[in-house]
Structure 1
Amino acid sequence: MADKRGVTIRELAQAAGVSIGTVSRALKGQPGLSEQTRAQVMEVAQQLGYDTAKLRTGKPRRMLFLYSRHMGSLASNPFYSYVLHGAETACREAGVPLSLMSVVAGDDVAAQVRRHEADALLGAGYMDPEVMDAVRQCDLPLVLVDHFHPGIRSINDDNLLGGWLATKHLLEGSAQRVAAIFGPLAHYSTSLRAKGFRRALFEAGRLFDPDYEVTLDPALDYREAGRDAMRRLLALPEPPDAVFAYNDSTAMHAIEYCHEQGLRVPDDVRFIGYDDIEAAARFKPPLSTVKMDKEALGQLAARALIEGDTEPNDAWLPVELVVRESSAPAAPPPTPARRPRKQTA
C-alpha cells in the first residue's frame, strides 16, 4: 500500500538497508550495482509505494549552491568565492543553471529550496546541525565542500597535512614560540588544521601551550576578530615569534595589527596563512601560505552531482606549501671577523 505521506528516497534507502546513492542508481538503471541489490531496491520501492516519477533522470535541471551566512559574506571570506566559481564553471559546461542561497539556523530551508526549483544541492562550508538536518530533509542529491557529515559525499583538501606543513615550516625556521589563530574548531577543516599544528609541535619535541592557540571571537567583525586575536597573543608574557593563521585573510589582519604596533614582519614575527587567495601574493610582505586548488573543490562537487555520483565518500585534494617573504627566517647574526695571527719569524 502506498504511503499517504509520500515516501521519500531517504525512507526508501533506510527500508532497503542501502545508501541514498544506491537507491538513486537502482531506480535510474545506472551501472555499478549488482542485480541482486537493484532487485532488492525495486522490490522495497514497490512495497512502500514509492513514486518513481519524483526521481529525476539524467543530469539535474538546476543546482543550488548553499552557503552559511554565519561565516560572513563571500566578499569577506573569498575562499568560497573560488569554490563557487569552480562549481559555476562545471555547471556552465554541462548546461546546468546554478543559483546561490545563503542559509542560517531558523531558516525554512525546504521552502527556499523549492522556490529555487533545485533538484541538486552543493553545500559549501560548515553548517550547524540544525541547518544540516534541514538540508538533508530536502531529500535531494547532496555533495559537501569544505565540510563533512557521515553518509554524505564530501570533497575537502588535506587539511591535516596542510596544518602540519605550515607549522613544520615555521619550526624549521628556528621559531621558538609558534602560535596559531583558528576559527571555530567545530568546523571540519579548522579542526584538522589545528590537529596538524599540534602534531608538528609534538614531532618537534615542543610542549603544547594552550595560551599560544587562540580562536577568533565570533562576536566581532571578521577583520576585527583577526586583529583581536593577534592583540591577545602579543599580550602574553612571552609573545610568539611565529604565527600560523588558519586562513590567509586572518593572517593579513593579524599582520596589519603587528605593523600598527611597530613590529616588523618577518623580522619580529613570522607568519604563514592557508588557502593562497589572490591577495596573499600581493600583500606586504607577500604572505606564505598553504595552497590547494580551490576552484577544483567546486568543480568536483558540481560534476559529482551532474553525473549522479553521490555515494558517501570523503575525497581529499592535495595541498602545497608556498613560501614567501612573511615567513622568511631571521638572518643569523654576522660572524665577527677574526684578526689574523701575527706571523712569527
Structure 2
Amino acid sequence: MTALTSGKTRPVRLADIAKAAGVSHGTASNVFARPEIVRDEVRERVKAAAEAMGYAGPDPKGRLLRAGKVNAIGVATAEPLSYFFDDPFARVMMASISQACDATGAGISLVSAANNEQLAWNIQSALVDGFIVFCIEGGSRLVELARERKLPFVALDLDSENEAVAAIGIDNVAGAGLAARHLAELGHRRFAVLALESADAGFGPVTQEQVETSALYSGTRDRLRGYFAELSRFGIDVSLVPIYETLNDEESVRAGLEHIFALPQRPTAILAMSDRMALHALDWLREHDIAVPGDVSIVGFDGVPEGADSKPPLTTVAQPIAEMGRLAVKAILENDGSLNRQLLPVNLVIRASSGPSPA
C-alpha cells in the first residue's frame, strides 16, 4: 500500500505507521528492531497498523548502510561455483566457515565466475564486509580484486612469500617432506608424483623445471620442492621421478596413472598433491588389480574425512582445515586493520595405503 501526498502516491514509511498507531517514531522502530522492549499492547497496535497499510518493515539495506556493516562474508574463488560442493577440501573448509558464521549470526556470499570479467564484477558488487579468498587457482588475481574493494580480506593457501597480504596457510614444503620421508623410510625408491596444476596448458607430463618456473601455482611448486628435497636425502635421483600435472579431477588423474604405469619402470610409491586425486587413484589401481599397499603405496595431502573411509584408508598429510576456516572468519569479523599472517602446522596421518616397498 502507498500513502497519498499532494495527489501522488509514495511508499508507506515507518513514520506513517507511527502516526497511524499513535506512537513515536522511535517506538515504532523498536517494534521491528527490538520488540522485546516494547509493551505487548503497543507492539500489537503498531503491527496492526503496519499490516493494514501493507508495511512489511524497515528496508534492511538502509539499516545496513547506516551501520556501515552488512554482517556477511564473501568467500571467493576463481574456480567454478561447483568447486565449493564437489571438492572434499572445500566442503570441509566451507563447513567450518559456516559454523563460525552461524556462531556470530553472520551470513555468507559465495563468489565465483566462469571468466575474469565476470569474477571482477561479482567481487565488486558483492554486499559483504570482507572476503575469504580461496587461492587454489588464480590467487594473485583474486587478491588484486579483493584489494580493489578496500575491504578486509584474508587469503587461504596463498604463496607464503607474499608478505604484503593477510593469509592463513601451511608450510607446503615441510608437509610434502613428511610424505616423501615416510615412504622413503619404508624402503621405496621408485616414485611418481601426481601434481596439482603448474601451468594453464591443461594436464599431462611436466618436468621439474616447468614446475619451478611457474609463477601462478606456488602451492604445486612448494609441494614438489618438499618431495624432492626429502627424496634427495635418501639418494634418490629426482630427475628420474615422473611428474604428471592433473586438474585435480578424475579424468586427469586416470590419464596420469595410465601414463605412469606405461613407463618402463613402474613406481612402487605415488605422492599425490591432494586427497581428492589420491582417492581417484585408489579407484584406478583397484580396477587394474594393482594392490595397495602390496604393489604400490600412495600418500595424499589435505586430511579430508573421505580418506579415513577409503579402501584402503588413505595415508595423508593433514591440514588443520577446520581451524583455518574458523580463523579466517575471525580475521574478517574482528578486523582491526592490522596485517595478520598465520602459518599452521600439518601432521602425517598414517593409514593402510602406505606400506613397505615390495621386495
- Assess same fold via TM > 0.5: yes
Q: Tell me the secondary structure at the aligned position of residue 139 of structure 1.
A: coil
Give the Å deviation of 1:58: 8.5
Question: Equivalents in 2 of 1:115, 1:58: separation in Å?
Answer: 16
Give the Å deviation of 1:109: 3.9
Give the Å deviation of 1:115: 4.2
Give the Å deviation of 1:310: 5.2
Q: Which has the higher contact order (CA 8 A, sep 6+)?
A: 1
Identify the range of structure 1 (309-318 vs 143-152) with the bigger mean alpha-carbon deviation.
Answer: 309-318
Say if 1:316 and 1:310 are closer, same or farther in 2 by CA, change over 3 A: farther
Give the Å deviation of 1:111: 3.6
- The equivalences for 1:15-30 within 5 A come to none
Q: Could you give the per-residue CA deviations for residues 279-308 of structure 1, whole angstroms, max 9, x where no partner exists?
A: 111111111111122111111111011111
Q: Tell me the secondary structure at the aligned position of residue 144 of structure 1.
A: strand
Say if 1:59 and 1:300 are closer, same or farther in 2 by CA, change over 3 A: farther
Query: Does 2:231 correspond to 1:201?
Result: yes
Say if 1:92 and 1:188 are closer, same or farther in 2 by CA, change over 3 A: farther
Question: Equivalents in 2 of 1:135, 1:229: separation in Å?
Answer: 35
| Number of residues of Structure 1 aligned to a counterpart in Structure 2 | 276
Question: Equivalents in 1 of 2:237, 2:86: separation in Å?
Answer: 34
Give the Å deviation of 1:116: 3.3
- Contact in 2 for aligned 1:103/1:131 (Cα 8 Å): no
- Contact in 1 for aligned 2:81/2:111 (Cα 8 Å): no
Structure 1 equivalent of residue 354 of structure 2: 327
Structure 2 equivalent of residue 47 of structure 1: none
Letter in 1 for 2:266: P
Structure 1 equivalent of residue 217 of structure 2: 187
- Contact in 2 for aligned 1:230/1:254 (Cα 8 Å): yes
Structure 1 equivalent of residue 205 of structure 2: none
Say if 1:228 and 1:268 are closer, same or farther in 2 by CA, change over 3 A: same
Question: Equivalents in 1 of 2:81, 2:353: separation in Å?
Answer: 26
Q: Tell me the secondary structure at the aligned position of residue 116 of structure 2.
A: coil
Q: Which has more radius of gyration?
A: 2
Structure 1 equivalent of residue 153 of structure 2: 142
Letter in 1 for 2:155: L
Q: Could you give the per-residue CA deviations for residues 185-223 of structure 1, whole angstroms, max 9, x where no partner exists?
A: 33333222111101111221211125522211x4xx811
Q: Tell me the secondary structure at the aligned position of residue 325 of structure 2.
A: helix
Query: Does 2:96 correspond to 1:86?
Result: yes
Structure 2 equivalent of residue 170 of structure 1: 183
Q: Could you give the per-residue CA deviations for residues 301-331 of structure 1, whole angstroms, max 9, x where no partner exists?
A: 1101111145334311111111111102157
- Contact in 2 for aligned 1:71/1:77 (Cα 8 Å): no
- Contact in 2 for aligned 1:142/1:310 (Cα 8 Å): no
- Give the percent of matched residue pairs that are identical in Structure 1 and Structure 2: 28
- Contact in 2 for aligned 1:143/1:310 (Cα 8 Å): no
- The equivalences for 1:234-253 within 5 A come to 234-253=261-280
Letter in 1 for 2:128: A
Gaps of 5+ in 1: 1-54, 333-345
Question: Equivalents in 2 of 1:134, 1:109: separation in Å?
Answer: 9
Question: Equivalents in 2 of 1:291, 1:56: separation in Å?
Answer: 43
Q: Could you give the per-residue CA deviations for residues 14-64 of structure 1, whole angstroms, max 9, x where no partner exists?
A: xxxxxxxxxxxxxxxxxxxxxxxxxxxxxxxxxxxxxxxxx9989762211
Say if 1:261 and 1:145 are closer, same or farther in 2 by CA, change over 3 A: same
Q: CA RMSD in A?
A: 2.6
Identify the range of structure 1 (264-273 vs 73-82) with the bigger mean alpha-carbon deviation.
Answer: 73-82
Structure 2 equivalent of residue 98 of structure 1: 108
Question: Equivalents in 1 of 2:295, 2:105: separation in Å?
Answer: 52
Question: Equivalents in 2 of 1:285, 1:314: separation in Å?
Answer: 36
1:63 pairs with 73, 79, 82, which one? 73
Structure 1 runs, 4 residues or longer, greater than 4 Å off: 55-60
